[in-house]
Amino acid sequence: MPRSATNLLDISELPAPERREMRDFFQFLLTRRTTTNKPKASYTFTDLCGTVNWKGDAVAAQRSLRDEW
């Protein structure tokens, strides 16, 4: 548990199960914050743009796939 977690809020008056729950929730929030700040993937797939040549009617192909359902 980070040291700063104990300094933010005095939970010593809570019963032991509730203190554990508070600590678990705080740890969850810390983990969620660090995982959402991950850097984006370095590969953007921009080198693949324009490499597929479609020789048909895209709307007709989409409609035929949709009508199969």
Say how far apart CA 23 and CA 26 lie, in whole Å: 5
pLDDT digits (tens, 9 = 90+) for 41-57: 777 777 777 666 778 88
What's the mean pLDDT in 25-48? 77
Report how many domains make up the chain.
1
Is the pTM for the entire model greater than 0.75? Answer: no
Say how far apart CA 32 and CA 38 lie, in whole Å: 10
Distance of CA 4 to the CA centre of its chain: 25
For residue 2, how many C-alpha atoms fall within 13 Å in the half-sphere facing its CB? 11
Domain that holds residue 43: 3-67
Cβ proximity of 30 and 2 under 8 Å: yes
pLDDT at 22 over 60: yes
Residue 37 banded pLDDT, cuts 50, 70, 90: low
